[in-house]
Structure 1
Amino acid sequence: MKQQFGDLLVLAEQGQFDVIVHGCNCFCTMGAGIAKAIKEKFPEAYQADLQTVSGDRGKLGTYSQAKIQREGGEFVIINAYTQFNWRGRGIKADYAAIEQVFKSIKSEFSGLRIAYPLIGAGLAGGDWAVISKMIDHELHGEAHTLVRLI
């Protein structure tokens, strides 16, 4: 796993990545964190989220996607369903869902430049040490980058 600091959305717009992945809950809210920024900056990704069934636990481990075309080029945003909801206390990250999402991403996007924030370890409260090992395992051999905000 490569790491770099910066704004994941700006870097994608600048053509540094082909695919960006962010974690979502299963209720089509995109109301906080990077999901909210994506919803505001790239409404196509939110529209893709809205095409799924709100509150469907079966979405865990799957994703919706949107192709984004801007002056800097094009890239895909993956709305990864890695937590069921956002309410209450405790860990919201679903480790099995995170693992499944990245397994599917490798299958569909192998050979492309993939980037993501601290999926599941921010607002979802998961353990990045655990999550990063899963991502490294599932994306073994791929060009993938963790982008941390400065």
Structure 2
Amino acid sequence: MINYIEYGDIFALPDVHCYAHGCNCAGAMGKGIALQFRRKYPDMYLQYKKLCKDGAFKLGDIFEYRLNDEYVYNLGTQKDWKTKATLDALRISVWKMLESATKQNITAIAMPKIGAGLGGLVWEDVKYVLEAAALHFPDIDIIVVENYQQVNGI
């Protein structure tokens, strides 16, 4: 099931410890929510950057990162930071993420409007992809925060 939240911060949602976001495959996390992920998980960023440099993170791939009880799914949705995300890469990576989350007994994943910010995709198209995938994984709640808003001034 997908829950849409108009304004909020994915990192401030109660009882959610698993996150996802779209990434380029060039090793850059310098803007938008990717920069927040980079700051919150600096070791993840270093691993991601190395994967990209080695050519081991491509469109449609996922890079899973775990820190204690938190999971991050980095989804390969853009070739590089200069190009737009593709719906095919988004579709493939979302499916892989949900398959992996099922195996790990993850029941909730929070994400931004994945691929529709700096990724340049049309949000309605992305919603269709997410909703189609979610039908096959009814035990996982996907929480989409459509617009970032600081919580409690943090």
| Class of the TM-score when normalised by the shorter of the 2 chains | 0.7 to 0.9
Tell me which residue corresponds to 1:138: 133
**Do the aligned residues in 1 keep the contact of 2:23 with 2:76 (CA within 8 Å)?**
yes
Task: For structure 1, list consecutive stretches of 5 or more residues without a partner in the other structure.
Answer: none
Query: Cα gap change, 1:114/1:6 in structure 2, threshold over 3 Å: closer, same or farther?
Result: same
Aligned AA (1:132): K
Q: CA RMSD for the aligned pairs?
A: 1.9
Between 1:41-50 and 1:29-38, the stretch displaced more is: 41-50
Tell me which residue corresponds to 1:109: 101
Give 1:48 shift: 2.9
Aligned AA (2:142): H
Give the TM-score of the pair, scaled to structure 1.
0.84
CA distance in 2, matches of 1:62, 1:43: 20
CA distance in 2, matches of 1:38, 1:118: 15
**Do the aligned residues in 1 keep the contact of 2:57 with 2:63 (CA within 8 Å)?**
no
Give the TM-score of the pair, scaled to structure 2.
0.82
The list of structure 1 runs, each at least 4 consecutive aligned residues, that deviate by more than 3 angstroms after superposition, is: 55-58
* % identical equivalent positions: 26
**Do the aligned residues in 2 keep the contact of 1:44 with 1:66 (CA within 8 Å)?**
no
Aligned AA (2:42): P
CA distance in 1, matches of 2:40, 2:79: 24
Tell me which residue corresponds to 1:121: 116
Matched residues, number: 140
Aligned AA (2:116): A
Tell me which residue corresponds to 1:3: 4
